[in-house]
Amino acid sequence: GKRLGIVRHPYFEFDKGSVLDVIFKTHLHTLRQCGAVLVDNLEISTFGEIFSSVSDVMYTALNAEFKLAINSYLKQLVKSPVRSLADVIQFNRKFTKKEKLKDYGQERFRAAEKTNGIGPKEKKALLKMAEWSRDGFEKVMKENELDAIVAAGTDLSVVLYIG
User: Across-strand partners of 59?
Assistant: none
Q: What's the pTM? A: 0.70
> Which residues touch 9 (CB under 8 Å, ≥6 apart)?
41, 43
- For residue 39, list its beta bridge partners: 5
Residue 39's φ and ψ, nearest 5 degrees, are: -100, 105
Residue 126, judged by CB atoms within 10 A of its CB (0-12, 13-18, 19+), counts as middle
Q: Name residues of the chain where pLDDT drops below 70.
A: 10-12, 51, 53-55, 153-163
Are the C-beta atoms of residues 92 and 99 closer than 8 Å to each other?
A: yes
In this structure, are strands 3-6 and 148-150 parallel, antiparallel, or unpaired? parallel
Distance, CA of 92 to CA of 86 (rounded, Å): 10
Residue type at 44 in one-letter notation: I
